[in-house]
Structures are given as C-alpha cells and as structure tokens.
Structure 1
Amino acid sequence: MFYRTQRELATAINKLVDAYWQEEIKEQGLIEGVNNIYDNNQDKLFKNNEFTKVVQQQCGKRRLAVVERILKMV
C-alpha cells in the first residue's frame, strides 16, 4: 500500500475507517490496514509529529481520532 499523494492516502484511510464503521471489516482488519498504511507512507501522513494538513482536511477529526488511537497501541 504505497500512495503517490497525500490525497490518495487520505482517500484510502477514509475507505478503511468507513468500512469498519459499516461493519464490512472487523477490528483486526482495520488495525492491520492502518498499521500497513502508516509503515509505508509515514512521510505523507505526518509532518512535525502531526497529521499533514491535506490528510486532516480530507479525513476529518473523527476518522483521524480512530487512526491515532490505533497507532498509539503499537
């Protein structure tokens, strides 16, 4: 899961979290997906220890709160 742009990355995060909220994937699938995205795209996801502005605008607070909690588990 490598993404070329921050917008593509944000879209992938949105789809992943939304699928979890709609019960299309289980919690373990969400955790693995978020960790995989983070491992392969740290430079597009974070800048100065916070989510990049594009990701913040595209994903919103609720989705990023879920992502942040998963990343703090590791």
Structure 2
Amino acid sequence: MEVKKFYRTQRELAYAINKLIDAYWNDEISDELIIQKITDLYTNNPSKVLKNDDFTTILKQQCGKRRLEVVGKILA
C-alpha cells in the first residue's frame, strides 16, 4: 500500500489515514506496517494531525472516533 509522506491538506491526510486503518482492519497490512506508516505520517505532518494536544477538527470529522483511537494508541 503506497502512502505519500507529505500532504497538502488535512482532508488528504485524513483520507490516507482512513485507507491505512481500513486496510489494517481488513487484514491487508500487518501491525508493523500500520505502526510505521502512521508514525511516518505524524512525523512529516505534525501540524495537520494535532493541535493543542488534540486531533484537528478536520481529522475528527473525516476519520471518526474509532479510527482516531487506533492512531492515538500508535502515537502514544
């Protein structure tokens, strides 16, 4: 699964996160790969993921609570 390192907007980033997590839930990618990809996305786009120690509003709207729980556990 190919995912870019840098994203122009929060919506594009949210779409990539959704694709990654859905692929993980469908057993298409491994635990190690999702951890690596989510960590890379955060490292390269920190201001688009978190604001004031919380997920950005766009990510909350686009990804939903269950997906962001997974992202939060990976980034913790």
Pairwise same-fold verdict (TM > 0.5): yes
Partner of 1:42: 46
Q: Which amino acid aligns with 2:37?
A: G
Q: Which runs of 4+ in 1 moved over 6 A?
A: none
TM-score, normalised with respect to structure 1: 0.96
Aligned to 1:19: 23
Structure 2 unaligned blocks of 5 or more:
none
Partner in structure 1 of residue 68 of structure 2: 64
Q: As a proportion of its length, which structure holds more helix?
A: 1
Structure 1 residue runs without a partner (length 5+): none
CA RMSD in angstroms, aligned pairs only: 0.4
What is the number of equivalent residue pairs in this alignment?
Answer: 72
Q: Matches of 1:6 and 1:56 in 2, distance apart?
A: 10
Q: Compute the TM-score of the two structures, normalised by the length of structure 2.
A: 0.93
Report the Cα offset of residue 6 of structure 1. Answer: 0.2
Percent identity for Structure 1 against Structure 2: 57
